C-alpha cells in the first residue's frame, strides 16, 4: 500500500497540470499512468499544440511568449477577446455549453497560459499553419496565433520536466481499476500493476485519465452504430476507466455523451495514434477543395467556416457516408494552400492530369457521378467574387446543394490531387459533473463526493456537437489546475 496527499490518475496535460497545481499548493502528489513511460502522455502527446485563449492586445500575447520587435511589426495577430471566445464557443455548441464552465475556461485561459509558461512551457507564434502573408504582413486567422513549441508532445515534455523538478512521483504501467470508497469519502485507488492488484491511498483523488474514445464497445454504445469503425487519433489507453470508476460510486453523468471530437483522418491510418507521426494523418485543408463520398457526391459545405470551427464535426459527417470514407479533391491552384500534413509520405493519395483520369482512381467512388458533381460545382462558382484564403471571402456557389459558402474555386487546373480520408476520433464529450468552484465531482443528486475531483476529457458539459480548435489543451490546463488546487486545499484544510 502506497500513500500520498493527492493521487492523480492519468499523465496527460490535464493530469500534469493538476499534479503541479496540487504540489504548488503544498500537497504531496503521486501520479498513476496506465501506459509505459514511452507511451505516456495521453491524448495530449498526439495533439497539434495550438492553444485558444483570450487576448486582445500584443502586450497580452507577450505574457505568454516572447515576440521580437520585428515579429510584432510584420504581423497582424488579430484578437480573440473574451467576447469573441464566448461567441465562438456558444455558437459551435449550439448554446448548450455550461455557462459556469465556459466562464471559467474563457476568463482563466490567459492566466493559465501564463502559468504554464511559469512551469517552463515554451510557446511560439503559429506561423506554420494559421498564418499567411497579406500585403507584406503575416496575418493570423482562426484566432489562433500561438502554439506550443514541439506541439502536444512538446507540452507533455515541458510539464514532465516540471513535475520531475517538483518531486512528483509517477507510477507507470499502473492501470486504475476502482476507487476506494466507503460510501462517504474517496480515499484512494485500486490499480493493477505487473499483473497484481495494488492499493494507493490518498486524501484526495483527481481523475484525469481521458474519455472513452479508445473503447470501440463504448463508442458504439454511446456515440452510435458505426462509431466502432472510427480510427483513434490518439492514445490507446483512454478506454473510459476513469468515467466507469466515477459512475460506479454514483458520480453524475454530464454533457454530450453521444458526441465527440472527430476529424478527417487518413483512410488507412493505424487503428490508434502513432507517436512517430503525431497529428500528421489529419487532413484539414478540405476548405479549399471538395469532399466527395462513395456516391460521387458532395455532402457538406466545405467552406462554411475556417477549418478550426468545422473540422471537429466533419469527421463524424465522413463516418456517416457509405463505406465510412470520403476523398478530398484539389486542383493545382489549391496546392500552395495545403497544410504540411499533405506533404508527408504516409498517406493515401492519387494524382492525375485530367478529372477524367482522376475519377477511376478514387477507390470506391462512382466515377460518372463524381464528374457530374464537379461539372455542376464548377458552373456554380461565383467567379466575380475575389478569392482570399485569409478571411471568409464570401466566394461561394449558386444553385447547388450543399452550397459552398467561402473559398469556392473551380476545379479546372491540372494536376489534380485527391486524398482518401475516414473519421478519426480525438476525444469524447460526455463526462461527469464537477463543482466549478473546486473541480470536485458531484453525485447524481448534486452533492459533492468527498475526496474526488476530475479534469480534462472527464469533465462533461463544455462541448456539444462541435468544438473550436485549440480549446482542448487550454481547457485541460484550466480545469486540471482547478482540480489540483481544489484537491490540495481540501487536504491541507483538513490537516
* Segment 404-455, tens digit of pLDDT: 999 999 999 999 999 999 999 999 999 999 999 999 999 999 999 999 999 9
Domain C-terminal end among 370, 397, 424: 424
pLDDT band at 1 (very low <50, low <70, confident <90, very high): low
Spell out the residues 6+ positions from residue 157 whose beta carbon is closer than 8 angstroms to its own.
Answer: 150
Domain C-terminal end among 388, 409, 424: 424
pLDDT band at 481 (very low <50, low <70, confident <90, very high): very high
Q: Are 427 and 211 in contact (CB under 8 A)?
A: yes
Sign, CA dihedral 131-134-138-141, equals negative
CA distance 233 to 242: 19
pLDDT greater than 60 at residue 180: yes
CA distance 338 to 285: 6
The alpha-carbon radius of gyration of the chain (Å, integer) is 23
pLDDT band at 15 (very low <50, low <70, confident <90, very high): very high
pLDDT band at 16 (very low <50, low <70, confident <90, very high): very high
Query: What CATH number does residue 341 fall under?
Result: 3.90.700.10
- For the chain, the average pLDDT equals 96
Q: What is the pLDDT of residue 308?
A: 93
The CA-atom distances, in angstroms, between 148 and each of 187, 258, 332, 426, 456 are 35, 30, 31, 18, 18
Is there a single domain that holds both residue 438 and residue 309?
no
Which tops the pLDDT comparison, 141 or 57? Answer: 57
Q: What is the pLDDT of residue 80?
A: 97
Q: Is the pTM of this model over 0.75?
A: yes
Query: How many C-beta atoms lie closer than 10 Å to residue 141's C-beta?
Result: 18
The CA-atom distances, in angstroms, between 59 and each of 53, 77, 107, 199, 477 are 14, 11, 17, 48, 22
CA distance 8 to 171: 10
pLDDT greater than 90 at residue 280: no
Helix, strand, coil share of the chain (percent; to 5): 35, 25, 45
- Domain membership flag for residue 115: yes
Q: What is the pLDDT of residue 494?
A: 65
Give the β-pairing of 169-171 and 29-32: parallel
How many structural domains does the chain have? 2
Is there a single domain that holds both residue 56 and residue 202?
yes
CA distance 287 to 185: 50
Backbone angles phi, psi at 246, to 5 degrees: -70, -45
Spell out the residues 6+ positions from residue 472 whose beta carbon is closer than 8 angstroms to its own.
Answer: 47, 261, 426, 427, 457
Is there a single domain that holds both residue 420 and residue 438?
no
CA distance 237 to 239: 6
Q: What is the pLDDT of residue 495?
A: 52
Domain region containing 42: 2-213+430-493
Is there a single domain that holds both residue 407 and residue 436?
no
Is there a single domain that holds both residue 316 and residue 400?
yes
Angle at 163 between CA 493 and CA 189, to 5 degrees: 60
Amino acid at each position: 500500500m502506497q500513500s500520498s496527499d493527492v493521487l492523480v490518475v492519468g499523465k496527460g496535460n490535464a493530469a500534469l497540470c493538476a499534479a503541479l497545481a496540487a504540489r504548488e499548493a503544498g500537497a504531496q502528489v503521486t501520479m498513476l499512468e496506465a501506459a509505459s513511460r514511452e507511451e505516456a502522455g495521453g491524448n495530449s502527446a498526439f495533439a497539434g499544440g495550438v492553444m485558444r485563449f483570450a487576448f486582445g492586445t500584443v502586450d497580452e500575447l507577450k505574457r505568454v511568449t516572447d515576440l521580437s520587435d520585428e515579429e510584432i511589426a510584420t504581423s497582424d495577430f488579430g484578437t480573440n477577446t473574451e467576447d469573441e471566445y464566448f461567441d465562438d464557443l456558444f455558437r459551435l455548441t449550439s448554446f448548450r455549453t455550461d455557462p459556469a464552465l465556459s466562464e471559467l475556461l474563457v476568463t482563466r485561459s490567459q492566466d493559465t497560459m501564463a502559468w504554464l509558461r511559469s512551469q517552463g512551457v515554451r510557446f511560439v507564434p503559429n506561423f506554420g499553419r494559421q498564418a499567411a502573408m497579406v500585403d507584406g504582413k503575416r496575418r493570423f486567422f482562426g484566432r489562433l496565433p500561438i502554439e506550443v513549441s514541439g506541439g502536444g508532445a512538446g507540452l507533455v515534455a515541458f510539464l514532465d520536466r516540471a513535475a520531475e523538478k517538483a518531486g512528483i512521483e509517477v507510477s507507470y504501467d499502473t492501470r486504475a481499476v476502482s476507487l476506494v470508497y466507503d460510501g462517504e469519502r474517496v480515499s484512494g485507488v485500486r490499480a493493477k500493476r505487473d499483473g497484481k492488484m495494488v492499493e494507493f491511498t490518498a486524501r484526495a483523488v483527481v481523475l484525469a485519465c481521458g474519455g472513452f474514445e479508445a473503447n470501440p464497445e463504448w463508442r458504439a454504445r454511446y456515440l452510435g452504430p458505426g462509431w466502432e469503425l472510427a480510427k483513434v487519433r490518439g492514445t490507446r489507453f483512454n478506454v473510459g476507466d476513469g468515467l466507469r470508476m466515477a459512475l460506479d460510486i454514483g458520480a453524475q453523468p454530464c454533457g454530450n455523451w453521444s458526441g465527440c471530437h472527430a476529424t478527417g483522418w487518413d483512410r488507412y491510418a493505424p487503428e490508434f495514434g502513432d507517436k512517430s507521426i503525431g497529428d500528421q494523418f489529419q487532413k484539414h485543408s478540405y476548405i479549399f477543395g471538395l469532399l466527395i463520398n462513395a456516391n460521387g457526391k458532395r455532402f457538406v459545405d466545405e467552406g462554411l467556416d475556417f477549418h478550426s470551427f468545422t473540422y471537429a464535426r466533419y469527421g463524424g459527417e465522413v463516418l456517416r457516408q457509405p463505406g465510412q470514407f470520403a476523398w478530398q479533391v484539389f486542383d493545382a491552384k489549391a496546392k500552395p494552400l495545403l497544410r504540411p500534413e499533405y506533404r508527408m509520405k504516409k498517406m493515401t493519395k492519387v494524382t492525375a492530369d485530367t478529372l477524367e483520369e482522376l475519377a477511376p482512381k478514387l477507390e470506391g467512388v462512382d466515377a460518372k457521378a463524381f464528374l457530374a458533381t464537379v461539372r455542376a460545382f464548377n458552373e456554380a462558382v461565383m467567379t466575380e467574387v475575389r478569392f482570399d484564403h485569409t478571411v471568409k471571402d464570401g466566394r461561394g456557389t449558386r444553385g447547388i446543394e450543399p452550397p459552398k459558402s467561402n473559398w469556392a474555386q473551380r476545379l479546372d487546373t491540372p494536376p489534380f490531387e485527391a486524398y482518401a480520408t475516414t473519421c478519426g476520433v480525438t476525444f469524447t464529450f460526455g463526462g461527469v459533473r464537477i463543482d466549478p468552484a473546486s473541480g470536485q465531482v458531484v453525485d447524481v443528486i448534486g452533492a459533492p463526493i468527498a475526496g474526488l475531483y476530475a479534469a480534462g476529457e472527464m469533465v462533461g458539459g463544455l462541448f456539444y456537437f462541435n468544438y473550436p480548435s485549440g480549446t482542448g489543451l487550454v481547457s485541460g490546463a484550466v480545469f486540471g489546475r482547478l482540480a489540483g488546487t481544489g484537491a490540495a486545499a481540501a487536504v491541507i484544510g483538513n490537516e
